[in-house]
Structure 1
Amino acid sequence: MKYLKKKVIQNCMKRLGSAILCMGIIFAGILLSSCQCKTLSISPDNVEASNVIVEYERHEDLNGIYRIDIVIPKVDAAGEAAKTLNETIHSEFMDYYRLNAENANEILGGWKYPQINISYKVIRLEQMCAISVITEIHSEEDQGKELSVRNYYYDEIEKEILSMEEYLKKVGLTAEDITQAFISGIGRDYHLEQVEFSSLQNHFYINGEKEPVFCVSD
């Protein structure tokens, strides 16, 4: 009888051990599966945003010649694309870096005591960084005013520069969307029924709501 009880107890212990082992394997499998899912679920949302910083800043007033307040940006990121983008921005605004009393008339095209303001906006959509540099030149002496926008697009996932067409496509817009927005907005004041996209390329940027914001002179 004692032998039988001992045998029964041993069988129960073996079954309990097997059950515990099975539960351990299942639990380990769940943990492993969970870890694998977390690894696979890394999304573009986790892409680190590029840091846009000030590359050049200047505030100067030469009475009767010009007044200038400018801030030029650059992308603070490693890689050839970021380097090329920064070189492009630098070269396109080089005239303002070297502006002085002697070459003002040549660079500014004969404006009478112009007021030059250059600032920038950074808008991020779909892991893309859009830098819009807005230039405003006006003069109270000759009642003139000019507004323009230069846009630079950087894909933070692929680490590459995008053209305007590529950027618009990625945010779900077309050149036709831009022209129609202009015609139905500002264009109504001038009774415009048609406008070429090429004439707007340096006069708008896309805001955080994926809408064009136009910068044009009155």
Structure 2
Amino acid sequence: RVGILPRVAPNEVAPPLPVPRIQLSHGARNMPVIALGTAADPPVPEEVTKSAVVDAIQLGYRHFDTAHKYRSEQPIGDAMQEALNLGLIQSRDEVFITSKLWCGDAHPHLVVSGLKKTLRNLKMEWIDLYLIHWPLSCTPDKYDFPIKEDDFLPMDFEGVWAAMEECLKLGLAKCIGVSNFTCKKLEHLLSVAKIPPAVNQSTWVTFKAP
């Protein structure tokens, strides 16, 4: 296999890392504040992602971040099954999975089906945290990134968020939130939300100027 760590007996498995957990504004699950991200640019083979996740579980990681766009949902699901088979974890409840709704599914009538696609990829019945990936929509079934200018569509914030709330009510997601929202867009969403987003995940890029 591709993993860099030798597989160990269950009684030799590292306990979960002492990562702080926080209680989100809704949902009963506490979220570990450190997660393993699985976006890769350029993309890597699925077996590489799967092995990295199994290695991370062996080291004690319990929070994994993915997205439909990353194409890492299926290898994460495979990694969880392997971790269970190896005795690295005892149940699904030991891990916290975050995934994201892609812009092509960010339409009121496509949100629930978008999450169901994610759950099929993960081979799971529910997800811990489901986020709107970006505060915009694009042509359905378009997965190009960067998104082509002709495919950009205005987001129906109220309708899309109502569908996210429906995911919560159906038990498909334990918690819902957003990603890459500016303060202005977040304020607009809060003005129409019945259940406010529990998370606004943002990327902070640090670099050294030449």
Q: TM-score, normalised by structure 1?
A: 0.24
- More strand per residue: 1 or 2? 1
Q: Which structure would you say has the larger Rg?
A: 1
